[in-house]
Amino acid sequence: MQDSAVIEASLIEPESFAELFERHAAVLHRYVVRRLGPDQAEDVVAETFTRAFEKRHKYALDRQDALPWLYGITTNIIGTHRRAEIRGYRALARTGEDPVAVAFDERVVARVSASETRRPLAAALAKLGKGERDVLLLISWGDLTYEETAQALNVPIGTVRSRLSRARRKIAHALGGSNPTNVIEEA
Amino acid sequence: MNDLDMVRDLRSEVRQSETNDLHRARRRMLTAVASEPPVRPVRRMVLRVATMGALGVTIMTGVTVVQSLGTDDRERGITSAPAWLSVANAETLATHATAAAAGQTDIYPRADQWVYVKRDYYTSPKLMPEVVVPPIGGGKTGSRYTAEMWTRGDGKERARRNEGGKTIKRRQGGEDPRLRFDPAYLRSLPLEPSALLERLKKDTSVIPLPEARAVSRQILSILQEGVPAARLRAALYTVLSQLDDVGVEKVRDLLGRQGVAIYTHDDEGIRQEVIIDPNTFVLLGARHIYVGGAKSPSPYSELPEGEVIISVAQVSVGIVDDAGDVP
């Protein structure tokens, strides 16, 4: 059953909405962990699904996959934790230690990259504008397409492209690259 | 690695979330759901005209009852027990794999490391005679050979060494850029089976195959090429076990190891098997077997039923620092 059918069914039988949680909560949770850290991730996911449930009457049922819609709600909630998110990037940039990965990865053999790019990259993420960071991370961490990102943020696809282009230029500059042709657009 | 790949790699070591991470969130969501009472569907009211003796005409309200006329297979006398039983067994196998995986550690390579896989291959000489197809694997015969493969952690490069070879061949990109099985992709996949199925459907929608076949093909690619961590592997088995017409059977793989095959059938009379170690639940290999029914000009139509068309055994897997290294 497609997500849209689940949402439609939940209009009559609200408990059907739990299926959407089972399908997407874990993916959203990991995304939030990467942006904010584990301490706030569960609350953000809970708030995402509570808001989604309240707003499900407005869902465009012709969109079969609800994940972009849920990412959009999550992104709005992450926006209210912007300072905490930026603090995390700055801590990584300053110390090279990532409190997010360490806190959430007790069971994982964390083969953390020793790459020298992590610190300038984190510093660059901290400096991006909110809209640029949202687009960049929805595409690179959320695995959304340009179109899905546009749906998630409720902006035109052209805005997604321009924000991503600006974000990548800034990232490339922070990493020491100045040749704009190195920034290859990915579909 | 371009700038976008570097962003993808940042914090990619964060493990996949699981049920235990979401108890409170689930409870909050269910509380919100429970606070809204179900909407009772408005039943269709009809006007029924009834005559009440000689007193005249009375208008009554009534409820139209829709009766289901469907019958299940048992009522039609069709025996579906074997198929039903085998599906249940496949799901049981996946359930055991999930339980065993719960306590295991996720290990994925860094973006600049490589996944190493060594495989034994067998291809039916009846399908591809050696006079037509030279020994592609470099083995003594065209039908049986060994090959080693390396896939870079970011999925951007692959390498291969054929049997007896002293050099490796490197190639940029994967065999099919639309299909990914690199660690960053694997970590982005949900571990909850129904969510995983939906994600795989979406990711394979570009493949010109029926949905279930595209999904099973992608699962096989991930299992063989990506060498996923135990929890994701178990979730993939679960998805596979829930596809239509799936069965399980005890088999031996190319190396004679005993395993359990989860199998499906395609439209050309090919049974596709994924062979799993019943104790550790690691992937042992895969086979394609012709079971009959192909019509000319299908290349399989001349084959005897039961012919193993291709068989692949995973000999060893691991994570290494460079292509050419072995664990």
pLDDT tens-digit map of A39-73: 889 999 999 999 999 999 989 988 888 999 999 99
Are residues B145 and B227 both part of a single domain? yes
- Does the pLDDT at position B189 exceed 80? yes
Residues 139-168 of A with CB under 8 A from B: 139-141, 143, 168
Structure tokens at B228: 């996923």
Q: Is residue B205 one of the residues assigned to a domain?
A: yes
Predicted complex ipTM: 0.86
- Does the pLDDT at position A20 exceed 60? yes
**CA-CA-CA-CA torsion for B168, B172, B175, B180, nearest 10 degrees?**
120
Q: What percent of chain B has pLDDT over 70?
A: 77
Residue of A nearest to B108 (CA): A111
A104 against B37, higher pLDDT: B37
| B185 neighbourhood in chain A, CB within 8 Å | 143
Q: Assign 3-class secondary structure to B186-212.
A: HHHCCCCHHHHHHHHHHHCCCCCCCHH
CB contact B105 to A (< 8 Å)? yes
Q: Is residue B60 one of the residues assigned to a domain?
A: yes
Ramachandran angles phi, psi of B139, nearest 5°: -80, 180
Are residues B21 and B86 both part of a single domain? no
| B110 neighbourhood in chain A, CB within 8 Å | 111-113
Do the Cβ atoms of B198 and A23 come closer than 8 Å? yes
CB-CB neighbours of A25 under 10 Å: 27
Question: Which residues are CB-neighbours of B241 under 8 A, at least 6 positions away?
Answer: B87, B90, B91, B93, B94, B262
Are residues B62 and B135 both part of a single domain? no
Q: Tell me the DSSP string of A74-109.
A: HHHHHHTTHHHHHHHHHHHHHHS--HHHHHH-TTS-
CB contact B39 to A (< 8 Å)? yes
pLDDT band, very low/low/confident/very high, at B91 (cuts 50, 70, 90): confident
Structure tokens at B318: 């691991």
In the sheet that holds B258-265, the strands lie side by side as B169-172, B157-162, B144-152, B114-123, B308-320, B283-290, B270-276, B258-265, B247-252
The partner residue sitting opposite B29, judged by closest CB among A13, A21, A168, is: A21
A38-42, A75-79, B179-183: range with lowest mean pLDDT: B179-183
pLDDT band, very low/low/confident/very high, at A110 (cuts 50, 70, 90): very low
C-alpha B223/C-alpha A94 separation (Å) is: 39
Alpha-helical segments (H) within B66-225: 81-101, 183-188, 193-203, 211-221
Q: Is residue B25 one of the residues assigned to a domain?
A: yes
Q: Is residue B1 one of the residues assigned to a domain?
A: no
| B192 neighbourhood in chain A, CB within 8 Å | 22-23, 25-26
Where is mean pLDDT largest: B61-65, B201-205, B223-227? Answer: B201-205
C-alpha A21/C-alpha B26 separation (Å) is: 7
Evaluated on CA atoms B39, B40, B44, B50, the torsion sign reads negative
Do the Cβ atoms of B160 and B133 come closer than 8 Å? no
**In this predicted structure, what is the pLDDT of residue A146?**
93
Q: Tell me the DSSP string of B265-278.
A: E-TTSEEEEEEE-T
Are residues B311 and B273 both part of a single domain? yes
Q: Is residue B229 one of the residues assigned to a domain?
A: yes
Half-sphere CA count of B192, side-chain side, radius 13 A:
21
Are residues B247 and B108 both part of a single domain? yes
End-to-end CA, chain A: 28
Do the Cβ atoms of B187 and B16 come closer than 8 Å? yes
Length of chain A: 187
Neighbour-count burial for A57-88, b at 16+ CB within 10 Å, e otherwise: eebeeebebbbbbbbbbbbbbbeebeeebbeb
Are residues B312 and B174 both part of a single domain? yes
**In this predicted structure, what is the pLDDT of residue B136?**
52
Do the Cβ atoms of B122 and B140 come closer than 8 Å? no
CB contact B8 to A (< 8 Å)? yes
Tell if the CB–CB gap between B38 and A14 is shorter than 8 Å: yes
When pLDDT is averaged across residues B232-258 and rounded to a whole number, the result is 88
Do the Cβ atoms of B106 and A109 come closer than 8 Å? yes
Decide which of B22, B47, B68 is a domain's last residue.
B68
CB contact A134 to B (< 8 Å)? no
Are residues B112 and B202 both part of a single domain? yes
The partner residue sitting opposite B29, judged by closest CB among A11, A18, A41, is: A18
pLDDT band, very low/low/confident/very high, at A112 (cuts 50, 70, 90): very low
Q: Is residue B301 one of the residues assigned to a domain?
A: yes
Give the domain range for residue B253. 79-320
Are residues B280 and B178 both part of a single domain? yes
Q: Is residue B6 one of the residues assigned to a domain?
A: no
Tell if the CB–CB gap between A111 and B13 is shorter than 8 Å: yes
Strand partners, B262: B248, B274
Q: Tell me the DSSP string of B85-104.
A: HHHHHHHHHHHHHHHHHTTS
Q: Is residue B74 one of the residues assigned to a domain?
A: no
pLDDT band, very low/low/confident/very high, at B58 (cuts 50, 70, 90): very low
Tell if the CB–CB gap between B39 and A15 is shorter than 8 Å: no
When pLDDT is averaged across residues B92-120 and rounded to a whole number, the result is 82
C-alpha B234/C-alpha A2 separation (Å) is: 23
Number of domains, chain B? 2
When pLDDT is averaged across residues B139-166 and rounded to a whole number, the result is 79
Are residues B164 and B277 both part of a single domain? yes
Which residue do the tokens 């193993």 mark? B308
A31-40, A79-88, A151-160, B92-101: range with lowest mean pLDDT: B92-101
Question: Which residues are CB-neighbours of B71 under 8 A, at least 6 positions away?
Answer: none
User: What does the pLDDT look like over B201-221, one tens digit per residue?
Assistant: 888 888 788 888 888 888 888
Mean pLDDT over each residue of chain B, to the nearest integer: 75
Are residues B199 and B164 both part of a single domain? yes
Q: What is the CA angle A55-A57-A59, rounded to 5? A: 80
Are residues B173 and B224 both part of a single domain? yes
Are residues B185 and B273 both part of a single domain? yes
pLDDT band, very low/low/confident/very high, at A103 (cuts 50, 70, 90): low
**In this predicted structure, what is the pLDDT of residue A117?**
82
